[in-house]
């Protein structure tokens, strides 16, 4: 049973445009959500997070939006840059419990 889903396996965006990556979850008990970025042959690196009590968190070019009623979150990257090309994983956490539940990832390709 996959509790965190990323339904788009890949996304291609032109440099300078907005990239929108989506994530859906089924467990309403999740109270923290994180986005990780992964380059080939490297481990995932933390990008940005959001608490379930908020609906938006912004950090530079990256903004995460949370819609609790729809159990949906999205990551916006504006403007997209070629260095943003990577696989992006959405993850959910149950408070300070150690377990992170990951989605299957979306491969973002930013083209020139």
Name residue 73's beta-bridge partners. 23, 66
Question: What is the token pair recorded at 64?
Answer: 């995460």
Give every CB contact of residue 82 below 8 A, 6+ residues apart in sequence. Answer: 15, 110, 111, 112
Residues 28-47 as b/e (b if ≥16 CB within 10 A, e otherwise) read: eebbbbbbbbbeeeeebeeb
Is residue 35 part of the contact set for other proteins (CB under 8 A)? no
Q: How far is the CB of 44 from other proteins (least distance, A)?
A: 5
- Asked if 51 interacts with other proteins (CB under 8 A), we say yes
Residues 81-110, one symbol each (x = binds other proteins by CB under 8 A, - = not), give: ------x-x---x--xxxxxxx-xx-----
Among 8, 49, 57, 74, binds other proteins (CB under 8 A): 49
Taking the complex as a whole, how short is the minimal distance between the CB of residue 103 and other proteins, in angstroms?
Answer: 8
Phi, psi of 54 (to 5 degrees): -115, 165
Binding site for other proteins (CB under 8 A): 2, 32, 34, 36, 41-46, 49, 51, 87, 89, 93, 96-102, 104-105
């Amino acid at each position: 049973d996959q509790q965190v889903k990323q339904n788009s396996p890949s996304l291609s965006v032109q440099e300078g445009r907005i990239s929108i990556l989506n994530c859906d979850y089924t467990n309403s008990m999740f109270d923290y959500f994180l986005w990780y970025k992964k380059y080939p042959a490297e481990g995932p690196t933390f990008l940005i997070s959001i608490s379930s009590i908020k609906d938006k968190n912004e950090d530079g070019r990256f903004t995460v939006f949370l819609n609790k009623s729809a159990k949906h979150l999205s990551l916006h990257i504006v403007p997209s840059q070629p260095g943003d090309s990577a696989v992006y994983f959405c993850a959910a956490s149950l408070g300070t419990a150690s377990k992170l539940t990951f989605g299957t990832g979306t491969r973002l390709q930013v083209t020139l």
